Structure 1
Amino acid sequence: MNLVFEPKWDKALPDTDRRKIEQIFQNSVQHNTVDKQMTFTALWQARNHRSDLLVTVLINNYSRQACSFSNTTLQYVEDDVVKAEKQFTLERVFVPPDSSMPWTFIFPESSFTDFPIILHGNLVYK
């Protein structure tokens, strides 16, 4: 697995965040996995000034094809309860085969399906 950064992220990412991402990648991402698929490794979650939920993850593409997000429905889940759900189309997100890329998915408050949101969840495909 390779760790790659979207070009704008690569330029703007603070060194402390880059080191955290690199460490989580080295310690958490499965290398040489037999089950070829895409997974998410949680990095951190936050709420912004508009109360949107920001979920930053490593997108782990274990497949032999590049992955992108076009009308892809994702759920934010805490303790097996879906807390938010949204369909994403992200033109800038292109994860090469056998690579991981950090990205922040933004769920507006209108996408919340359950409360409270405690900020210790994971992303999953619907």
Structure 2
Amino acid sequence: MLSIFRRKKNDEIKKEGNDQSFSTEELINEKEETTETEIETALSFHPSWNLPAEQQYVFRFLNNELEPLKPNQISLSGIEVGEGSGGIEVTAFVRNSLQKAIQLEEATLLLLDKESQVIARHKFDLSELGEIPGKSSRPWVFVFPQESLKVTEFSKENWTLAFELRKKHSLDLEESWQKGLSEDAKKQLENIVNSTEPPKEGEINIMGLQAKLDDEGSLHTTIFIRNGTDKDIQIEQLPLQVIDASGEVAAQGGFTLNDFEVKANTSKPWTFIFPKDNIKKDQPDLSKWIIKINQ
């Protein structure tokens, strides 16, 4: 039982965490036009929550104390943090200022101390909250497992629950490419990155850009190496296979890379040349092709 449920007087019932608001456009790609400047959020319990009347009263009291939201916001309003059998239990309101109901998906949440230092970081399946009605505030308990904790001790006051916002997936150019490419060529690569769906969080993959046979029979392929993780990665060996339009293997070979780094959440272009000996098919049809890591 949360300690706030054991408090006897209204003046003893108060939130211990802070409020953090986020743009709905940034989080769920939703934006509404409205003339309202302040939006109150009504309390909404998950259908599976069958709470005694006194516990409903506490949540209702806390919700009534919340500041209004601005249009097009999703807010995390911290109520209480405590230790549970599964880890650190964080109780908070998830608030929706849109007029329409929302359904959240998987997201990484951060538990921050009063200095905005990370106490814990964990990925949650937020679809478990169910459909959150428009202009509503839904209480929920988020359990950060012990292995997600970054510190062993922290204050139970003035903490913040926040979404970890990923920076926009961007282009990463090696210095030699930065110097050698024209501004138009750089812009073209940026446009491809911006118009292509980024890799999923934590995913690393490759995407073909250009393939061409030279006069000596070697195959020149330019690809994007796409890093969807939140860390810079080093690549030393990369075995690749090219499949032509007929679905047959056109080329195959392994490549050694020296001091090759792809920055976090970026796509880096690179050219790999398959020598004639690594070409597996005469006159491959490169009108349509894919390149993949040969595992």
Query: Aligning the two structures, in what range does the TM-score lie when normalised by the shorter sequence?
Result: 0.7 to 0.9
Q: TM-score, normalised by structure 1?
A: 0.85
Structure 1 unaligned spans of 5+? none
- Which residue, out of 267, 270, 274, partners 1:103? 270
**Does 2:235 match 1:63?**
no
Q: Which residue of 2 aligns with 1:114?
A: 281
Superposed displacement of residue 105, structure 1: 1.0
Bigger Cα displacement from structure 2, 55-64 vs 66-75: 66-75
Q: SS in structure 2 opposite 1:19? A: helix
2:228·2:266 contact (CA, 8 Å) conserved in 1? yes
Q: Which residue of 1 aligns with 2:254?
A: 87
Superposed displacement of residue 122, structure 1: 1.8
Superposed displacement of residue 8, structure 1: 0.3
User: What percentage of aligned pairs have identical amino acids?
Assistant: 23
Measure the CA separation in 1 of the matches of 2:261 and 2:240: 16
- Which residue, out of 175, 181, 199, partners 1:7? 175
Measure the CA separation in 2 of the matches of 1:114 and 1:75: 12
Structure 2 unaligned spans of 5+? 1-168
Superposed displacement of residue 50, structure 1: 2.4
Amino acid at match of 2:271: T
Amino acid at match of 1:99: T
Amino acid at match of 1:48: D
Superposed displacement of residue 24, structure 1: 0.9
Superposed displacement of residue 18, structure 1: 1.6
| RMSD across aligned positions (CA) | 1.8
**Does 2:196 match 1:28?**
yes
Amino acid at match of 2:243: V
Structure-2 change in CA distance of 1:111 and 1:68 (3 Å): farther
Measure the CA separation in 2 of the matches of 1:98 and 1:124: 20
Measure the CA separation in 2 of the matches of 1:116 and 1:15: 34
- Superposed structure 1 runs of 4+ greater than 4 Å apart: none
Measure the CA separation in 1 of the matches of 2:234 and 2:274: 18
2:251·2:279 contact (CA, 8 Å) conserved in 1? yes
| Count of matched residue pairs | 124
Q: TM-score, normalised by structure 2?
A: 0.39
Superposed displacement of residue 92, structure 1: 4.6
- Which residue, out of 213, 237, 247, partners 1:47? 213
Measure the CA separation in 2 of the matches of 1:97 and 1:10: 18
Higher CA-based Rg: 2
Superposed displacement of residue 30, structure 1: 1.6
The C-alpha deviation readout for 1:48-104, integer Å capped at 9, x for no partner, is 342211111111111233333323211111243211111111115311121111111
Bigger fraction of residues in strand: 1
Structure-2 change in CA distance of 1:12 and 1:98 (3 Å): same
